[in-house]
């Protein structure tokens, strides 16, 4: 029994969900998102709620039931409210500058790192005196914004000794003690 798959997805005002040819389309004030659905799972809209049902009891179908419910829930929230991810660049001399869909950063390498973004993601870079630069991503697609944030973090992961690198705002870095003097 899938507890997540059986839960209803509430539709806020102004969000429209359609299901045709195993493709779910969610439209809202921020845009439109599409998701392919596995054969054997049906999507219905009943009284401003999205209901997912599976036609069989196979192990694969049971596993996908909750997955698609979560994906549709993320799509509904994305087209109505959107998603925001913030990351901070911790290190001496680390800088970030956003120009359109390009993020140019100084991360301590010999050259600046130029990071180009997909058109669905917008970026801003804030820098205040005495604080590390903060890069903010905004998008309606939760999967895409997570992938972009993970790619940016992979450029310079936080190291455990001094904590230098790119980390999410609020993320705790597990620190190690350095060399012990003998």
Annotate 37-64 with DSSP letters as a single string: --TTEEEEEETTEEEEEES---HHHHHH
For residues 10-32, give the mean pLDDT. Answer: 92
Q: pLDDT tens-digit profile of 59-83? A: 888 889 989 999 999 999 999 999 9
Does the CA dihedral 50-55-57-61 come out positive or negative?
negative
Q: Within 13 Å, how many C-alpha atoms sit on residue 107's CB side?
A: 20
Does 1 score more than 60 pLDDT?
no
Q: State how far the Cα of 87 lies from the Cα of 75, in Å rounded to an integer.
A: 23
Does 20 score more than 60 pLDDT?
yes
Q: Regarding the domain delimited by 83-168, which CATH topology (the fold level of the hierarchy) does it fall under?
A: Outer Surface Protein A; domain 3 (3.90.930)
Domain boundaries, the chain: 3-80, 83-168
- Domain 3-80 top-level CATH class: alpha beta
Q: What is the pLDDT of residue 182?
A: 58
Residues of the chain with pLDDT > 70: what percent?
98
**Domain 3-80 shares a fold with domain 83-168:** yes
Q: pLDDT tens-digit profile of 142-170? A: 999 999 999 999 999 999 999 899 999 99
Angle at 30 between CA 125 and CA 15, to 5 degrees: 145
Q: State how far the Cα of 71 lies from the Cα of 79, in Å rounded to an integer.
A: 12
For residues 107-130, give the mean pLDDT. Answer: 93
4-8, 9-13, 157-161: which range is least confident on average? 4-8
């Amino acid at each position: 029994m899938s507890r997540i798959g059986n839960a209803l997805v509430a539709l806020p005002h102004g969000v429209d969900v359609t299901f045709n040819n195993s493709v779910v389309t969610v439209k809202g004030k921020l845009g439109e998102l599409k998701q392919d659905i596995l054969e054997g799972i049906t999507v219905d809209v009943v009284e401003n709620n999205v209901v997912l049902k599976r036609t069989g009891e196979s192990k694969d179908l049971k596993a996908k039931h909750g997955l698609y419910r979560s994906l549709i829930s993320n799509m509904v929230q994305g087209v109505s409210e959107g998603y925001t991810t913030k990351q901070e660049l911790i290190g001496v001399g680390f800088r970030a500058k956003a120009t359109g869909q390009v993020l140019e950063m100084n991360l301590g390498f010999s050259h600046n790192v130029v990071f180009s973004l997909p058109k669905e993601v917008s970026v801003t870079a804030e820098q205040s005196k005495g604080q590390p630069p903060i890069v903010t991503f905004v998008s309606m697609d939760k999967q895409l914004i997570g992938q972009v944030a993970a790619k940016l973090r992979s450029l310079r992961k936080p190291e455990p000794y001094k904590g230098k690198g790119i980390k999410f705002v609020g993320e705790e870095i597990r620190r190690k003690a350095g060399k012990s003097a003998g």
